[in-house]
Amino acid sequence: TGLPSSEVAWGLFRQAGVSVLDAQAFGPSAEGFLRMGLVVDDERLAEACRRIRRYMASLG
């Protein structure tokens, strides 16, 4: 996307209702990555993936 991972993480939370962690919290080498906790049931995880896909598509 060309956006910092922190902006993508906040955008996912605000616009798609999906909470992820900007992986930069794990050090500068992690910039550009997001961390996700996969601790929900399959149905909820599938919905989160759909929301992430829609959000990412909206970025162009």
Q: Give the model confidence (pLDDT) of 25-50 as tens digits.
A: 889 898 899 999 999 999 999 999 99
Q: Kindly tell me the burial class for residue 11, based on how many C-beta atoms sit within 10 Å of its own C-beta (0-12, 13-18, 19 or more).
A: middle
Instruction: Give me the mean pLDDT over the 9-36 stretch.
Output: 93
Instruction: Give me the mean pLDDT over the 11-30 stretch.
Output: 93
User: The whole model's pTM is what?
Assistant: 0.85
Collapsed DSSP state (helix, strand, coil) of residue 14: helix
The pLDDT assigned to 36 comes to 92
